[in-house]
Structure 1
């Protein structure tokens, strides 16, 4: 049996018509919530995931799947069961998510194919026309050079933020294809935080565990929402006054309220109706790097066939010839006074078989205890994660 490796990073999506895009957007939120629940249940630490990266590369994979393999992938990804609708939404959305004068967003897809190994023309055409992916032959038997070639490409696409996505020992004689999708985002705040106001402040990791962290301050008009249902407060931070992209910080009203909030992550990721308020903000600076095992996540979401008795005959050969062996995502985010820088890459291996009073303000948003966040571009959840210990 042979191996196909699919490497992904954070990329973008598409829309054929408004109804199709709305369904895709709601599916994206549901998929992001599914991922968040699983990752948060396994650790109490900081983490960052890029649902959109996994969604995009796996959408490309499912385009070469057949039968139950395809159905399971589409269901787990909350995609339509219609190939036409999926392709239309990605074909229109990917180009529309690219950055401009307001923010920077670079996304790229690539397929590395073992020298002498054939993948089907229809799959290559879909990859190029819908997912804007190029194809390159590579000698996987030369593990060190092959891994370097792939990782160098990922580093270039993510401005050197994602490293060693593909370990050389992950490449075997059964590796025949690697699909990569990479995303890099950078945006400057519409209302930057003044660096001289950043000071060490208390952050309550728990009732008995208080640490000092660099805390940024500003007072300006921000999107603001108080949810009695979720017992939490939402703060929307914009980038260069762009209406396309936003970062939302969701702060439990209680210092120990993060777990209860995470239990309702589906509602959290559904953007509330923000109103513009004069808000005094205190927000820790933070940097997060994560590695996420998406194979386990997909298995828990009901994907079984793709990892064993798979039918990827739309990519190459016949049913049962290749299967997914591993899926790994790496992510990075840095939040500081100037704005946000974030990147992601995912690999899928297919094998053959108080200062508040001083600052004033109409409202106060003091993130001095664990919180969660997400970044949306055109209502698509691109990144989501949590901060339990800023660093």
Structure 2
């Protein structure tokens, strides 16, 4: 399908089969799509030889063994009431000196507090701008897991106008971090057709629990969030990922 080929080409082949079989019918009127691709190298890369498997504690009190990256270099970390924030800057590109990107990790002090933290984050105006570590500090035990997560969903709604139309939304996103940096992509397609010609069954979304933390990929100059997600178990490829 031409749309799937377009999405794959514009996301460096990370997003494939954006539109599943049967999503486009003979009566389909329009398809609108957009894609986002991001690849960034850490400002200070992690030493691969220092990556070691360590236990990661799950919400059900069990644990899994996952590879953790570590470093003895100073980091942008700040402690707040009930959580800590880590900022990992990406290397600035030579072609654009005005933009600078970072990944932010929000780690609650207690493993069962992610929902409370997420509610606080989304309900407090200016939360992101007021919780940015500005200074590097020395670190003691510093470890973050490598992870790769994927997320996809589809939804539909019917609009009654001159014609009765059904609009179906398909979105897929993927993000992976390792010692060198981050690669992330997202693609979205809107399929518009006459009601009754675009029946489908919603995709099932699988994810597993971990000692949860949130992450963002953000452009620091304008404050634009490119990707946001929750990590529940870095040993799995399924999690919750949103592309704002």
TM-score range, shorter chain: 0.7 to 0.9
Q: Provide the residue aligned with 1:232 in structure 2.
A: 83
The residue correspondences of 1:106-121 to structure 2 (distance < 5 A) are: none
Q: Provide the residue aligned with 1:149 in structure 2.
A: 2
Report the CA distance between 1:343 and its aligned residue: 0.2
Residue 119 of structure 2 corresponds to residue 263 of structure 1: yes
Q: Does the residue aligned with 1:168 lie in a helix, a strand or coil?
A: coil
Query: Which structure dedicates a bigger proportion of its chain to helix?
Result: 1
Q: Does the residue aligned with 2:6 lie in a helix, a strand or coil?
A: helix
Q: Provide the residue aligned with 1:284 in structure 2.
A: 145
* Aligned 8 A contact 1:269 1:374 in 2: no
The residue correspondences of 1:95-114 to structure 2 (distance < 5 A) are: none
Q: How many residues align?
A: 209
* Aligned 8 A contact 1:249 1:374 in 2: yes
CA distance in 2, matches of 1:283, 1:256: 18
CA distance in 2, matches of 1:269, 1:158: 30
Residue 40 of structure 2 corresponds to residue 187 of structure 1: yes
* Aligned 8 A contact 1:322 1:350 in 2: no
Q: Does the residue aligned with 1:389 lie in a helix, a strand or coil?
A: coil
Q: Does the residue aligned with 2:5 lie in a helix, a strand or coil?
A: helix
CA distance in 1, matches of 2:175, 2:60: 27
CA distance in 2, matches of 1:337, 1:239: 12
CA distance in 1, matches of 2:68, 2:29: 48
Query: Which structure dedicates a bigger proportion of its chain to strand?
Result: 2
Q: Which runs of 5+ in 1 are unaligned?
A: 1-147, 296-305, 311-319, 354-367
1:26-59 per-position Cα deviation (integer Å, ceiling 9, x unaligned): xxxxxxxxxxxxxxxxxxxxxxxxxxxxxxxxxx
The residue correspondences of 1:102-251 to structure 2 (distance < 5 A) are: 148-206=1-59, 208-228=61-81, 231-241=82-92, 244-251=100-107
CA distance in 1, matches of 2:135, 2:152: 36
TM-score (norm 2): 0.79
Q: Does the residue aligned with 1:263 lie in a helix, a strand or coil?
A: helix
* Aligned 8 A contact 2:57 2:64 in 1: yes
Q: Provide the residue aligned with 2:227 in structure 1.
A: 383
Residue 215 of structure 2 corresponds to residue 373 of structure 1: yes
Larger Rg: 1
CA RMSD of aligned residues (A): 2.1
* Aligned 8 A contact 1:224 1:236 in 2: yes
CA distance in 2, matches of 1:176, 1:344: 24
4+ residue segments displaced more than 4 Å:
none
Q: Does the residue aligned with 2:74 lie in a helix, a strand or coil?
A: strand
Q: 1:293 aligns with which of 150, 154, 170?
A: 154
1:98-145 per-position Cα deviation (integer Å, ceiling 9, x unaligned): xxxxxxxxxxxxxxxxxxxxxxxxxxxxxxxxxxxxxxxxxxxxxxxx
1:245-285 per-position Cα deviation (integer Å, ceiling 9, x unaligned): 11100000112221221222314962324221224331000
Compared CA separation, residues 322 and 338, structure 1 to 2 (3 A): farther
CA distance in 1, matches of 2:19, 2:214: 29
Report the CA distance between 1:207 and its aligned residue: 5.2
